[in-house]
Structure 1
């Protein structure tokens, strides 16, 4: 692995980690970053999914006490079993729909302009949800992830499935969707973190298995560098986001999405940037 290739892997890992848990779409940013870096191709699409493992490890480390408590209590604690069941229920919609539509989505929507349009639409939705939250502060009915019902988990999982559209944002869909369904900002954000574990892990394992013919042991350094960069940046991002939501809403991210999407569309239309597929 030469220096330039390693540098590209590090940049992509940092992009993944810093964007995975923010409502701005890690997949969208990876597609755009890959286009700018000329870091594209079928193997790179697998790379972009596999380095999500770094983000998973970051969440597991940040919430290691909670995860250890849940795992140790599965045999005796009803709340622990309910928590795991809720995660599985929330994971299923994206898993099932992903298996059905993944190939079609990759073929049609994994390109800069469709991603930019999803950025803009998602930004508008965040603005609408935040406006509703300010106008109806008493609509919050769930203040902690342990208070969620199985139906709540299913609803959030169904909303998260919209993130199969590149540029939508898995975390954005689950957080903003959770808030719209009555979860507090903190509960929606934390459930999004936990829901990322089975969702991203499942996507990583499935992608490696499905595309195993493309991969070899020679790819390990590239994937390892990207995963490590994703872990470090995701860990920093999770810590920062938990502090941020204690005093801020997601309006900034909504406007970021809208402006960023418009810039990408303008750059593609006027030829300022040649976006690779």
Structure 2
């Protein structure tokens, strides 16, 4: 992987990590179009640059993350991340196998886009006029607008929804936001809690990939940090990639919140459907 390729992948990661469009799917697609070899370092890099995106969330919401007196906030995040840790540990090999399937990515993007088209209708916001019986019943229920009203069981259920993102192309952000809205969080708070939940989830995945997981490098096993430090090119790619992902993610978070408030999820659903359909056509034609 060249430095330029690392920067491109990092830009893709920063732009898509917190949008409901699947960062993993987009990085797989970008790597394929760029012709980047699908080696151990490439796979590690695509996980490790999440570190930059994590710091972006912490910076944007630093007041929230450093309120050490409100221990329940951290406890709820810990409960929410349990499903991802458990499923990630149990099905790590199966998840890695799916990462190489462009067909799974394309199908997940398409199906996920269809779901996003109807999310605002299924879970309308309190300010929206009900359009049918389902909407009327939903708006009459209690909505949750802040973490002090979020219960531990609801945090755990949102964490279960997040597990769906282990399928490439599903989107961790989309899965956890949908889970939040299904648990009657407002659209904005569901997005924010998705950002909060991303920090321990992505941190755990990154730390595991860098310090614990053994990567197959030409028949020999290496820890992630050994692979990063193996060459100066790998070191540069890792460091520059995380800086780029951090800067781009800062912009993307602000963009997502503003678009979400104004347009809801429909625009992201349309994007996913178009991209997924294009990819399926390219795969059928043997171009991808």
Note whether the superposition's TM-score is higher than 0.5: yes
Q: Which of 137, 142, 145 is residue 143 of structure 1 equivalent to? A: 145
The residue number in structure 2 matching 1:111 is 101
The residue number in structure 2 matching 1:129 is 119
Q: Secondary structure at the match of 1:142?
A: coil
The residue number in structure 2 matching 1:199 is 201
The residue number in structure 1 matching 2:22 is 25
More helix by share: 1
**Structure 2 segments unaligned to the other structure (5+ residues):** 125-130, 215-222
Measure, in 2, the Cα distance between the counterparts of 1:173 and 1:196: 11
Measure, in 1, the Cα distance between the counterparts of 2:207 and 2:156: 23
Measure, in 2, the Cα distance between the counterparts of 1:149 and 1:96: 21
Measure, in 1, the Cα distance between the counterparts of 2:119 and 2:182: 6
Q: Secondary structure at the match of 1:245?
A: helix
Q: Which of 9, 26, 42 is residue 12 of structure 1 equivalent to? A: 9
TM-score when normalising by structure 2? 0.87
Pairing 1:27-66 to 2, within 5 Å after superposition: 27-39=24-36, 40-66=38-64
Measure, in 2, the Cα distance between the counterparts of 1:140 and 1:53: 36
Q: CA deviation at 1:156?
A: 0.3
TM-score when normalising by structure 1? 0.90
Q: CA deviation at 1:245?
A: 2.0
Measure, in 2, the Cα distance between the counterparts of 1:60 and 1:114: 31
Q: Within the alignment, does 1:82 sit opposite 2:72 as a pair? A: yes
Q: CA deviation at 1:53?
A: 0.5
Measure, in 1, the Cα distance between the counterparts of 2:268 and 2:60: 23
Conserved 8 A contact 2:98-2:167: no
The residue number in structure 1 matching 2:264 is 249
Q: CA deviation at 1:214?
A: 3.6
CA RMSD of aligned residues (A): 1.5
The residue number in structure 1 matching 2:274 is 259
The residue number in structure 2 matching 1:216 is 229
Distance 1:130 1:21, change over 3 A: same
Conserved 8 A contact 1:18-1:237: yes
